[in-house]
Amino acid sequence: MSAEETETMLNSTMQMCTFRMANRLFGVDILDVKEVNENTNITPIYHAPPDICGYINIRGQILLVVNLRETFGFDQRHKTEATSGKVVVFKPSVDEPFGIMVDEVCDVVSIEQSRIVDRRANESNTSEAAKELRRAKDGIVMGVCPLDRELLLVLNARHILGRQSAKLDNK
């Protein structure tokens, strides 16, 4: 990213497509989102990393669905919900066709770029396990943006699958 781009990003407002997952509010840049789809029938991919739900068919196109709960290590009792949520589908410019499973799609929120706080900076006194988890989240979570009532975790869609493929290679 060039300095110029960063500057425009910092100064401009960004439209966020927000959604809920395990009671937390997340957002991705709306320009990266192609559509939101009802999660129809998921076909599991055996032997795939645990945070891959499987494939779904959207109008003849096969789409990989990622379960970010797994990536973030959220409470597993939500797992049953994971098969009945909605899928946020990203544009082809983001990566090969894929989407993420969410519990509920919320409003579109405009936020100032400058209000996104990179919270990695002020968390240092954490355990090894937490650090491990953080490394997985690194890159995916761009930062936190405080809204009126709660915090919005801003995700970078472009980094979601980068993690997946790296993991598979290690196996």
Partner 1 sequence: METDNDILAEYVEESRDHLSRIEEIFESIVKTGEVKLSSINDLFRAIHTIKGSAGFLGLTSIGTLTHAMESLLDSLREGRLTVTQSISDALMEGTDILSEMFDDVNKSNSVDVSELVETLKNLNSGIDAPAAVSEPAPQAPQEEPKMTAEETEKRSVADVLNQFPELAQYTAPPEQAAEAKPAPAAKAAPAAKAPAAQASEPSSQDKHEEFLRIKVDLLDRLMMLAGELVLVRNQQLMHLEQADATLRSITQSLDSVTTELQETIMRTRMQPIGTVFSRFSRMVRDLSRKLGKKIDFVTEGDEVELDKNILEAIGDPLTHLVRNACDHGVEKPEDRLAAGKTDTGKVVLSAYHESGQIHVDIKDNGKGMNREVIRRKVLEKRLKTEDELSRMNDQDLVNLVFLPGFSTAAEVTDVSGRGVGMDVVKTGVEKFGGSVSLTTIEGEGSTIKLRLPLTLAIIPSLIVQSGDERFAIPQVNLEELVCLYDKDAFTRIECAGAREVFRLRDTLLPMVRLREALARERMFDEEALSEVTDQNSEARKEMGIKYKEAEDSGHSIHYSLNFAVLRSGNLRFGLIIDRIHGSEEIVVKPMHRAVKGIPLYSGATVLGDGKVAMILDATGLARHYNVRDVGGGKDNKKQKATAEDGTELRSLLLFSNGGNEQFGVSMQDVKRVEAIETAAIERVGSQEYITLDGVSTRVVRLEDGLRVQSSSQPENMFFLIPQNARKPYGLLVEKLIDSGHYEVKLNKESYQAEGVEGTALIKKKMTVLVNLEQLMHLVDGMWYGGQA
Residue numbers at the binding site for partner 1 (CB under 8 A):
40-41, 43-49, 52, 54-57, 59-62, 64, 66, 95-98, 161, 164-165, 168-169, 171
Nearer to partner 1, 29 or 95 (CB): 95
H or E element that contains 162: helix 160-170
Nearer to partner 1, 95 or 103 (CB): 95
**Minimal distance in Å, beta carbon 90 to partner 1?**
12
Cα(115)–Cα(103) distance, integer angstroms: 25
Q: Are 100 and 87 in contact (CB under 8 A)?
A: yes
**Minimal distance in Å, beta carbon 7 to partner 1?**
24
H or E element that contains 79: helix 79-82
DSSP string, 21-38: ETTEEEEEEGGGEEEEEE
**Minimal distance in Å, beta carbon 32 to partner 1?**
17
